[in-house]
Amino acid sequence: MEYKLDFITYSNALKKNRLLGLKCCQCGAITCPPKMVCQECTDTDLEVVQLSGNGEIKTFTTNYVAPLGREVEAPYTIVMVELEEGPWIAGNLIDIDPAKVGMELIGRKVKLGHKIFPGDQYSAGDAARPLFSFYDEA
Ligand SMILES: [Zn+2]
């Protein structure tokens, strides 16, 4: 079985603020982050599509205890975002004070950016990860 969208390609696109996903040729659902199969029907007939990167916060958590090697990043808020195209993806939320976030975050509109996280002892090197900022503010 081949990867239609491998992690390197996904990560390199993210570094240009382009969010890629997979559209299922059977049921039409969008899968993101990329997987081997459609996350709705498990079919393998998938095509790479570019997603808007816009979505709505569904839930969140604030992390005060960062993983080893990332202590300076804490505290930070991670949001689960339902993208306009359907799938939910996680990313760090910026433009807020993590110590002051509350339930008012739920439902806020956000747009995608990215941050390059340096490699550590558990990864193969630098990788881009989703970063979200508010979209519904002037
Ligand atoms: Zn499907």
Mean pLDDT computed over every residue of the chain: 92
Mean pLDDT within 20-36: 97
Q: What share of the chain is helix, strand, coil (3-state, %, to 5)?
A: 10, 40, 50
Residues within 5 Å of ion ligand 1, judged at the Cβ atom: 24, 26-27, 29, 38, 40-41, 43
Task: Decide if 65 contacts 74 (C-beta within 8 A).
Answer: yes
| pLDDT band for position 137 (cuts 50, 70, 90) | low
Mean pLDDT within 72-100: 94
Taking the model in full, what pTM does it have? 0.89
| pLDDT band for position 138 (cuts 50, 70, 90) | very low
